[in-house]
Copies of this chain bind each other. A is one copy, B any other.
Amino acid sequence: MKKTILPVAAIAALITACEQPSQPSGETRSPERAAYSLAIHGGAGTILRAEMSPEKEAAYRAALDTALNIGETVLRDGGTALDAVEQTISWLEDCPLFNAGKGAVFTHEGKNELDASIMDGRGQQAGAVGGVTNVRHPIRLARAVMERSPHVFLSGRGAEQFAGENGLEIVDPKWFFTQNRWESLQKALQQEAGQNNKHGQLKLPDHNPDHKFGTVGCVALDREGHFAAGTSTGGMTNKKWNRIGDSPVIGAGTYADDAACAVSCTGHGEFFIRYAVAHDVWALMMYKGLSLADAADLVINKKLVEKGGQGGLIAVDKDGHIAMPFNSEGMYRGFAKPGERKIMIFREQ
């Protein structure tokens, strides 16, 4: 966890920059409304209360609250889970607090390479992109891949070409730059240089928790009973060789099926790929009859812990129940359904 404490004015400016008009809070708490349910995450990792300034915490809470407002407005007004997920994540991609879109971490070469995926529980259509560098909203590109291409998974320059052909917003790669993330890369490079001098072998630093986390995700159940899930990330600081993480891998970072649940993951992506984490939650519900809470808890707090895979997930079931387990110190997260809303960061709330 970086110990940088931003001045209050900067935090306020940050929140203002991310902010969109929020709805009156009373609107979201009416218990008689038909069911919908929404959950978001902004990454899991070593997030310690002792290292979090009140100003920084306030900024994250305000950002998560705004993101929930965006998704909840869509769902409350009868919109689709897919729209709610896309719009919520698009906003999180613009918010520099999170490791997705603007605010993404830097690769070893000092670039931002963005991964994202989206899945529609109705019909189990999916779209994903890996390693795009100039598309402002990778989650929108993932949706375009799903809806306007015969493919599920596009990557690199080809994905960017598809984005251009399909009217997605293209930006200068500098758009994604944030000083904060740049400094994280410099630290990682220094740490790596030290390790290499010592051991004479190229090795990524394993123990800087800031390297791997900060992905954003959203899951939603709409009034029609349909699910959607989406995940977007800049990956891990100092990643090399056009590494693709779990976020764009359907079944690993993202999964949705109207028959069971919608899931979005965050954490050490390599583990989430090897254990097909999002699909595993789905399978435990479908084949073993576990509740969402039990399935999500088993995967994150038992199976992954035994393997050494750090991270968490958010998920929603047909009744609108939300699960948000994580095995790291903290996870930026929140949920909203009629009459209920909560935003959390640390383990104990």
A294 at the interface (CB under 8 A from B): no
Instruction: Report A263-286 CB contacts with B as 1/0, cut-off 8 Å.
Output: 000000110011110011001101
A162 at the interface (CB under 8 A from B): yes
Q: How many copies does the complex hold?
A: 2
Decide yes or no: A154 and B283 within 8 Å by CB, A252-B250, A274-B125 being known contacts. no
Identify the stretch in A181-189, A213-221, A240-248, A316-324 within 8 Å (CB) of chain B at 4 or more residues: A240-248
Is the CB–CB distance between A274 and B155 below 8 Å? no
A22 at the interface (CB under 8 A from B): no
Give 8 closest A-B pairs by Cβ, nearest first. Answer: A158-B242, A158-B241, A283-B283, A251-B276, A287-B287, A162-B241, A153-B244, A276-B279
Is the CB–CB distance between B287 and A153 below 8 Å? no
The residues of B that contact A275 with a CB separation of less than 8 Å are: 124
Is the CB–CB distance between A153 and B276 below 8 Å? no
A152 at the interface (CB under 8 A from B): yes
Q: Which of A97-148 contact B (CB under 8 A)?
A: 119, 124-126, 130-131
By beta carbon, the residue of chain B nearest A148 is B202
Q: How far is the CA of A202 from the CA of B156 in the complex (A)?
A: 21
A-B contacts besides A279-B283, A284-B287, 18 pairs, CB < 8 Å: A119-B274, A124-B275, A130-B130, A131-B155, A131-B156, A150-B204, A151-B240, A151-B270, A152-B269, A153-B243, A153-B244, A153-B245, A153-B249, A154-B241, A159-B241, A250-B276, A251-B276, A287-B288
Size category of the binding interface on chain A:
35 or more
A190 at the interface (CB under 8 A from B): no
A-B contact pairs, 16 of them (CB 8 A): A126-B273, A130-B244, A149-B240, A151-B243, A152-B274, A153-B244, A153-B249, A159-B241, A249-B249, A249-B251, A250-B252, A250-B274, A251-B251, A279-B280, A283-B283, A288-B288
Is the CB–CB distance between A155 and B130 below 8 Å? yes
A29 at the interface (CB under 8 A from B): no
Q: Which of B157, B270, B283 contacts A150 (CB 8 A)?
A: B270
A255 at the interface (CB under 8 A from B): yes
Q: How far is the CA of A157 from the CA of B155 in the complex (A)?
A: 11
A16 at the interface (CB under 8 A from B): no
The residues of B that contact A157 with a CB separation of less than 8 Å are: 156, 242
In whole Å, how far is A296's beta carbon from the nearest beta carbon of chain B? 15
The residues of B that contact A41 with a CB separation of less than 8 Å are: none
Q: Which of B241, B249, B269 contacts A149 (CB 8 A)?
A: B241
The residues of B that contact A151 with a CB separation of less than 8 Å are: 239-241, 243, 270
By beta carbon, the residue of chain B nearest A155 is B242
By beta carbon, the residue of chain B nearest A157 is B242
